[in-house]
Amino acid sequence: MNVVDLLLKLLSFESLTPDDAGSLKFIEEYLDDYEAIYVNKEGVKNLMLSKKFSDGPHLCFAGHVDVVPAGDGWETNPFVPVIKEGNIYARGAQDMKSGVAAFVQACKESEDFEGTLSVLLTSDEEGEGKYGTAVMLQHLKEIDFLPDYCIVAEPTCETVFGDAIKIGRRGSINGYLTLNGKQGHAAYPEKAINPVHQIAPILDKIAGVDLDEGDDDFAPSKMVITDIRAGMEVTNVTPGALKMMFNVRNSTKTTQEEVKLHIAQCFDGLDYSLELTQGSYPYVTKRDSKIVQKLTSSIKKLTGLETKLSTAGGTSDARFMGAFGIDVVEFGVINDTIHAPNERTSIKEVEALCAVFKDTVKHFNEGSI
């Protein structure tokens, strides 16, 4: 079985979050000389497959086998992969069974490594992820088996294969603010306190405002208002309260405390309440880390490209790796149809991704970085 055959097989599993649909058992049997550890919780399955070749660093490949629902608009059955004009169409083709197939095949074909190779897979990344990769990592920490380095094979490329890897991700702070006023008749504004009027002059201090200047790794942490509502959808009643929601994709330079302080300065003297939650925390792997250097070297060797080191985009399970102190990067196929109808990737990309992973494994311990 080659990497394309493997991908076609994985795409045939209807593994809607958090159901792996038997795909993890199949991968376990495919890598039959790797030792398996399962950590399952609340219907979520997590699998670690590892093989110690010799003493040396522990290099892990990680990803998820679950996919989002297909939705409408498909020209073919989303769980019966179809090859057309060099492309493979199916749900999960880009996100991220192509990456899983590439690193599983790379591990299958790697006959030697100075250290330990492993594969970490979960059936819940597309959902809340509460019982997914983080649960497995906690177990690995308890048994002293955390990887030293990790490649998460999420789709990272932008326009051509090899043009971008992720060396970090921004965090996500969610804000829920209530501005209290005093309800009254619109004809007697002097008898009411209108929270809409109160927030109007404040908006230019919060809407789209950068909370830090950014740095070489991260764009500025920007405050993005996602919802504002007040009133009862009538014209003759002044609203008694206004509710606003916002999000800050934060770098390592901005925390909840900075957000709270900015809001306090802007709403000084007003009657408001604020709740902040942290959906994920930012992380960044140093550019001179061995995993960054070795992966970019393999990409350049096989594609000729100087790959961009990015921290843009949403979030992924790499954030959990970063939180456990693991040097982690993300690299996969082009990201342009994920979660969309007729999701697809190309055969050339999948084969190239597998080749990059094999080359990274082969040369990982050459030289000193």
ω before 78 within 30° of 0 (cis)? no
Cβ neighbours around 81 below 10 Å, total: 22
- Rounded to 10 deg, the angle between the 347-362 and 3-11 helix axes is 120
Cβ neighbours around 149 below 10 Å, total: 24
Catalytic residue chosen out of the listed positions 125, 217, 349, 359: 125
Helix (H, G, I), strand (E, B) or coil at 133: helix
Q: Is 125 a catalytic residue?
A: yes
Amino acid (one-letter) located at 108: K
Dihedral of alpha carbons 10, 15, 20, 25, sign? negative
Backbone angles phi, psi at 226, to 5 degrees: -110, -15
Q: Are 290 and 149 in contact (CB under 8 A)?
A: yes
Closest CA to 251 of 293, 231, 280: 280
Helix (H, G, I), strand (E, B) or coil at 37: strand
In the chain, DSSP assigns E strands to 35-38, 46-52, 58-64, 82-84, 87-89, 116-122, 149-152, 164-166, 168-169, 172-180, 184-185, 223-230, 237-238, 241-248, 272-280, 283-284, 308-310, 327-330, 344-346
Closest CA to 353 of 277, 283, 281, 302: 302
Distance from C-alpha of 5 to C-alpha of 246, rounded to nearest angstrom: 44
- Point out which residues pair with 83 in neighbouring strands: 88
Q: Is 268 a catalytic residue?
A: no
Report CA-CA distances (Å) from 177 to 124, 200, 206, 241. Answer: 31, 15, 12, 10
Catalytic residue chosen out of the listed positions 19, 20, 66, 359: 66
- Residue 190 carries which DSSP code? G
Q: Are 98 and 349 in contact (CB under 8 A)?
A: yes
**Residue found under tokens 């982690």:** 328
Q: Which residues participate in catalysis according to the annotation? A: 66, 125
